[in-house]
Structure 1
Amino acid sequence: MTVPRTSVLGAVLDAARSGAVEVIDLTTPLQASTPILQLPEPFANTSRFRLEQLSRFDDRGPGWYWNDIHTGEHTGTHLDAPVHWITGRDGLDVSQAPMSTLVSAAAVIDMTAEAEKDPDFVLEVEHLRTWEAEHGPLPAGGWLLYRTGWDARGGDPTAFANADANGPHTPGISPECARWLAEQSPLTGLGVETVGIDAGAAMGFEPPFPCHHFLLGAGKWGLTSLRNVGLLPPTGALLIVCPLPIVSGSGSPTRVLALVER
């Protein structure tokens, strides 16, 4: 079946082919070196991504190459479902993500300069109010993508974690701002460039890990380890989020694309 060129989808397809609409990949490639979250003892940690070769044009399979994959739900660019956190324990799992959440508008707030000066920088409600004064209200049912420049560290797990004896130092969101996003904003979710939706120091916040606590508890969603967010405009991008529909899953490695009109 061909898409009629007079249709909306036909117009989008033509625009993507011509370059009038650019498709931007916001996903971290999955490989053994992909940075993952490291929790302190005694907490359990997720697995690194690993391929286990089954055959590669050899006696195990002369005409084909394939692998088993070993990974965690929260490895690389991934989606956090509400059921991931205790405050959302009765909420949706990743297989139940609404299509209106997986395809929606994106707003981008860029705090790269602030995070460069202070790796423990946290976003406050006043920053969002300033953004709204310039760009208009946050999109109803859409995503806030929080740009910090942290994706530039993605090829170096040590720099990405930025940890010392006191723990990791990565930018995030204050407890007050996390609560505002969860309870007062019209958003469906939050996307970040760091390994998790909370700041590196968020275990010491009140409550601990406030983005997880408030957003997932409110039935909202998280995206982590995004790349190329700096290629997006503050408004106007369409986000396409493609997790694996893991039944009872708390999250999933996810391909994230953005459509941007040029």
Structure 2
Amino acid sequence: MSKNSWIDISVPLSNSMHGWPGNPPTFVTMHLGTGKGDVCNVSAINFNSHTGTHMDAPLHFLHGAKTMDDLPWDAVIGECRVVEIKDKTAITPAELKKLKPKKGERLLFKTRNSAKSWKKPEFDKDFVYISKEGAQYLVDCGVQTVGVDYLSVGGFYKDGIETHHVLLGAEMWIIEGLDLSKVKPGKYDLICLPIKFHKGDGAPSRCLIRPR
């Protein structure tokens, strides 16, 4: 791979993709198909606003808060840092302090999720998440954007709501559902463009990074 090649760290949208339990699942069907005599191919897609690789707006958990319309492009276009997390349970202040997050930084967290969670046949409830204490530490450091390599910054069993409240309450922008399995830690250029969903609480996104 060329040093300047863009790397797609989005997960593909398909019927078999992982989805958060209780959210509407993804259904892709062929509405029109040249194979059945139609003049063109047209797919019908049913999915929710937090499908696959996506972003959370503060409105996702906070009534009356900012929506996807309020996303500043600086939050998702520019330099980012991919950091590897060794903890197999959660992203906590103990490990974050060693990484020295900076004010205004865009941080993408690579955990065991990238190698294991996406490969499981069903949704992985034991994915690595950001603890509420870790979330507060990131807020205190002034981080602008965080990205995680599974479907939620908060855990399934713990800190699901709390972590979202801490991050979104500080108007930190969140990218969820990344696949960093082929990415090494380091500095990258980032482009993450969410669907233009008017007043959206979140939106599926295409996310690319390029080594600096």
Alignment partner of 1:97 is 2:71 = yes
TM-score (ref. length: structure 1): 0.73
Structure 2 residue aligned with 1:127, among 95, 103, 113?
Answer: 95
Letter in 1 for 2:196: P
8 Å contact from structure 2 (residues 112, 128) kept in 1: no
8 Å contact from structure 1 (residues 243, 252) kept in 2: yes
2:118 corresponds in structure 1 to 154
2:150 is aligned to 194
Residues 61 and 196 (structure 1 numbering): CA distance in 2 closer, same or farther, change over 3 Å? same
1:259 aligns with 210
Q: Offset of 1:229 from its aligned partner?
A: 5.3
Separation in structure 2 between the aligned mates of residue 177 and residue 244 of structure 1, nearest angstrom: 29
Report the identity percentage: 24
Structure 1, unaligned runs of 5 or more = 1-17, 39-44, 116-120, 162-167
Q: CA deviation at 1:58?
A: 6.4
Aligned residues of 1:78 and 1:223 also touching (Cα < 8 A):
yes
Compute the RMSD of aligned alpha carbons.
2.1
2:105 to 120, 127, 142: 142
Three-state SS of the structure 1 residue aligned to 2:81 is strand
Q: What SS does the corresponding residue of 2:141 show, helix, strand or coil?
A: coil
Match of 1:172 among 125, 129, 132: 129
The partner residue of 2:28 within 42, 51, 63 is 51
Task: Report how far residue 213 of structure 1 moved.
Answer: 0.7
- TM-score normalised by L of structure 2: 0.89
SS of the aligned residue for 1:219 comes to: coil
Q: Is the 8 Å Cα contact of residues 84 and 185 (structure 2) preserved in structure 1?
A: no
Deviation per residue, 1:108-136 (Å, 9 max, x gap): 22124x31xxxxx222223122122xxxx
Q: What SS does the corresponding residue of 1:48 show, helix, strand or coil?
A: coil
For the Cα contact (< 8 Å) 2:49–2:201, is it kept in 1? yes
Which runs of 5 or more structure 2 residues have no equivalent in the other structure?
none
Q: How many residues align?
A: 211
Flag the structure with higher helix content: 1
Q: How far 1:240 moved relative to its partner? A: 0.7
